[in-house]
Structure 1
Amino acid sequence: MQATAYTYDPETRCGSVLLDDGTPVPFDAAAFDAGGLRLLRPGQRVRIEMTDTADGPEPRRVTLVTLQTF
């Protein structure tokens, strides 16, 4: 799935992305580290993977953030 980087804190390696429908979704350091990135700038297009917890009590969460390549 594609999204746009919205916020990023290099100290905590946490931030958020905006889905194409404008929904903000946070990500944690584990998701950032899984993508192998060193830095992320707001506005960059990224590829994300999310959990599929539509049936569970927990909201969907980002499990991977990496740069979108064409």
Structure 2
Amino acid sequence: MQATAYTFDPATRSGSVLLDDGTPLDFGAEAFDAGGLRLLRPGQRVRIEMAGEGGERRITHVTLQTL
């Protein structure tokens, strides 16, 4: 799934993304570390992987979107 980076705190390696429909979703350091990234800037397009359903839905992996 694709999204846009919205916030990112390099100290905690956590942040949030906006889905294409405008829904915000938070991610933790585990999801950021799983993607192998070193930095993320607001506005960058990212690819996310998710697990769970409904209220248990969470981001498990964040990588940069490449063409």
TM range (shorter): over 0.9
User: Displacement of 1:3 after TM fit?
Assistant: 0.1
Larger Rg over CA atoms: 1
Q: TM-score, normalised by structure 1?
A: 0.91
Task: Find out whether 1:63 has 2:57 as its counterpart.
Answer: no
User: Displacement of 1:26 after TM fit?
Assistant: 0.1
The gaps in structure 1 that reach 5 residues or longer are none
Distance in 2 (CA, whole Å) between partners of 1:67 and 1:17 is: 12
Task: Find out whether 1:30 has 2:25 as its counterpart.
Answer: no
User: Displacement of 1:8 after TM fit?
Assistant: 0.2
The gaps in structure 2 that reach 5 residues or longer are none
Distance in 2 (CA, whole Å) between partners of 1:10 and 1:28 is: 11
Equivalent residue pairs, number: 67
> 2:7 maps to which residue?
7
Spell out, residue by residue over 1:13-32, the C-alpha distance to the aligned partner (whole angstroms, 9 max, x if none). 00000000000000000000
The alignment-based identity, stated in percent, is 76
Distance in 1 (CA, whole Å) between partners of 2:46 and 2:11 is: 20
Secondary structure, counterpart of 1:33 in structure 2: helix
User: Displacement of 1:48 after TM fit?
Assistant: 0.2
Q: TM-score, normalised by structure 2?
A: 0.95
User: Displacement of 1:59 after TM fit?
Assistant: 2.3
